[in-house]
Structure 1
Amino acid sequence: MKIAPIMRAIAKQAPDAQQTLVHTGQHFDERMSDVFFRDLGLPKPDEHLGVSGGSHASQTARIMLGFEPVLDRHRPDWLVVVGDVNSTLACALVASKSGVKIAHVEAGLRSRDNTMPEEINRKVTDAVSDLLLTPSPDADANLTAEGVPLERIARVGNVMIDSLIRALPKIEATEYYRSLGLTDQSYVLATLHRPSNVDDPAMLSELVSALNEIASRTPVVFPVHPRTRARLESEQVPINEGIRLIDPLGYFDFMSLMRSAKIVITDSGGVQEETTYLGVSCLTVRPNTERPITIEEGTNRLVRPGKGTLLAAYSDVEAHPPLKQCPTLWDGKAAERIAEVLLATK
């Protein structure tokens, strides 16, 4: 979702520029990965490392081992990495040691929580990157506080919103909720996959119990991440019939569900941003967020994980929906700005 608009923008601004798309395979489930290539019109990867599964350490190491010969073959002027996943960190480390310049898209985000693997990935990737492409003012402030020179920072906006805006006509036409027998604004959309929420049996039980209570009044649609489904089954967590467990969805179907939801309950990073742009109330079940702008200027609210806190927050946001507002530079042109900066930077 972040790479697609960047590749299009570079191709438009510099048709002769050679671009090589590397898919590490980190997101190994077909419904969670390959479907995005299809839905977003991305070309097939030029290189596929086929790395999936394993611990954070083993996965990061295997990506590094697989990516090094790819980098040696192509010797690019720039390596562009996005976000905060293990692939981002692994490829950035290889490029840094190989003397290849690195541009980090979505740089500068901080949760201040080093128990999150993503926080470590973000901080280390920013530390070795030559160009830090930020989505919001808080990201700029985080980087300057860490001593990053201003000339290495460029605020470009939120590239994921580029994909959303481009896809909006199809998202609006999809109306996926109808296939579930639901109507617009009549249901809650839920996603949970963070280890802190789903790997702890007691916490998973609490959160699902809260969803069960909500589902007794309002249908809950729950596209289940493979990680979460495995935990629900192994722990035999009771599921109210008002909760509709469905398989992971393609981009258009999922965004259609999000756009027409009454409230979204999530622990995802990207969903906080997408709901903000769409003006949908969002409860983020986490003690912190690396995207505080979605709270300050969006429709997001942090909820400390737990049954009581989630139910209280749900009742409050149901009675008092947040104002709809969108941060600056979340305008569908972030990729254009990224391409301009990359092509102008020597």
Structure 2
Amino acid sequence: MPQITIVAGARPNFMKIAPIIHALHGVQDTGNAITYRLIHTGQHYDKIMSGNFFEQLNIPQPHSNLGAGGGSQAEQTAAIMIGFEKELQAHPSDLVLVVGDVTSTMACAITAQKLHVPVAHVEGGIRSNDWAMPEEINRLVTDAITNHFFTTSELANANLKASGVPDARIHFVGNTMIDTLLANQDRLQPPPVWNSLHLRPKQYGVMTLHRPANVDEETQLVELINAIMSHSQDMPVVFPVHPRTAKILERLGIGHSRLHTISPLGYLEFNYLVKHAKVVITDSGGITEEASVMNVPCMTLRDNTERPETISLGTNVLVGTAPNAIQPHLETLFAGQWKTAKTIPLWDGKAAQRIVTKLQDILT
């Protein structure tokens, strides 16, 4: 029976692999089953993941945690490669499946190829064309040595073809992050802040900021938040914030009566907030996908995006990083003139099934 190794290094990775694991379990009793080992590199320590995270996604705990978090980019990459080499030597694999664009994705792809193990990349081919983003370097390196690409969009397919990848290695399957979202729509649950702040549907905003260009540049962070709060009328804004960013906010004395900073939320609770929000203001790529599918207005505080389909077909608008660009978009929102999402091809909740069907073809 073929054996694959599935790699995840951060919380969003597990959201992308959860439906793949479910689909693998779905073919376990067939004559074409695939066994797997789930490896957490430990790249990001997330206290939420030590609680009920895996239970929420209905997936098993990883078979192994490499504990390769911390250190510089180079130190972390090296630690992941060393740990993953030992993992593959102890547990030989017919294929390594990597997802997304974190350091673990790149490091494990390199390690696998040097051990002559084929690599498949879920979410291959997406590009921001911004080499200042560590994720873009990870994408470029991973895709340069990937054997099979599972893609989320026709644009990703075009990017790969332009780089010389033959059609036979490109498999347009859809978006497994959306598989997870659609599978859990009926399970979303309000976080404690829903009642404590007396939130009501479409009467509040959700904000997430984590990119260094936004949170590490202190003047930029102050001006962005001031612009958002100045032009959001009387709307409360809920800001699930990383502890590191919370310390920056506290040191800078950033505080508004309508800005509510809270601890990071679980998957079901956070997406409940997004689903019922009037607007999401973010610099995260994955959240733009989820907001678009739930038809929630989304403003991205970045100068580029690797997910342009959320703009052309979804509810996302690329605002940029200039604080003075925020006001006109909020005015459009409050005027009730935000665009409505259209159907994004193959973002239908069945991407993981397509991936497993293709893996069965590849491994037999």
Tell me what 2:9 maps to: none
Residue 262 (1) aligns with residue 278 (2):
yes
Tell me by how many angstroms 1:34 deviates: 5.2
* Deviation of the 1:77 alpha carbon: 0.8
RMSD: 1.5
Change (3 A) 1:277 1:231: same
Residue 4 of structure 1 corresponds to which residue in structure 2?
Answer: 18
Relative to 1, partners in 2 of residues 1:49 and 1:85: Cα closer, same or farther, differing over 3 Å?
A: same
Give 1:29's aligned residue.
46
Change (3 A) 1:116 1:266: same
- Are the counterparts in 1 of residues 282 and 298 from structure 2 also a CA contact under 8 Å? yes
Count how many residue pairs are aligned between Structure 1 and Structure 2: 344
Residue 132 of structure 1 contacts residue 154 of structure 1 at CA under 8 Å; is this kept in 2? yes
TM-score by length of 1: 0.95
Q: Which amino acid aligns with 1:222?
A: F
TM-score of the pair, normalised by structure 2 = 0.91
Q: Deviations over 1:188-228 (max 9, x none)?
A: 10000001111111111111212332455210000002332
The answer to whether structure 1 residue 304 and structure 2 residue 304 are counterparts is no
1:227 aligns with 2:241: no
1:313 is matched by which residue type in structure 2?
H
Change (3 A) 1:35 1:302: farther
Cα distance in 1 for residues equivalent to 2:321 and 2:136: 19
**How far apart are the structure 1 equivalents of 2:191 and 2:342?**
23
Residues 303 and 309, structure 1, Cα contact 8 Å, conserved in 2:
yes
Q: Which amino acid aligns with 1:250?
A: G
1:239 corresponding residue in structure 2? 255
Structure 2 equivalent of residue 137 of structure 1: 154
Q: Verify: 1:116 aligned to 2:133, yes or no.
A: yes
Question: Which residue of 353, 357, 360 corresponds with 1:336?
Answer: 353
C-alpha distance in structure 2 between counterparts of 1:141 and 1:155, whole Å: 11
Q: Does 1:316 align with 2:332?
A: yes
Distance in 2 between the 1:208 and 1:187 partners? 15
Aligned to 1:68: 85
TM-fit CA distance, 1:230: 3.1
Partner of 2:4: none
Contact 1:269 1:291 in 2 (8 A): yes
Pairing 1:249–2:282 present: no
Instruction: Supply the distance in 2 between the matched residues of 1:135 and 1:69 (Cα, whole angstroms).
Output: 31
* Cα drift, residue 10 of structure 1: 1.4
Q: CA deviation at 1:36?
A: 2.8
The residue type equivalent to 2:39 in the other structure is V
Q: CA deviation at 1:65?
A: 1.2
Pick the aligned partner of 1:279 from 281, 295, 299.
Answer: 295
Query: 1:57 matched to which residue of 2?
Result: 74
Structure 2 counterpart of 1:21, one-letter code: L
Given that 1:212 and 1:239 are in contact with CA atoms closer than 8 Å, whether structure 2 keeps it comes out as no
Gaps of 5+ in 1: none
SS of residue matched to 1:110: coil
8 Å CA contact retained: 2:190, 2:273 = no
Q: Distance in 2 between matches of 1:334 and 1:287?
A: 29
Q: Structure 1 vs Structure 2: percent identity of aligned residues? A: 47
The reply on whether 1:153 has 2:170 as its aligned counterpart is yes
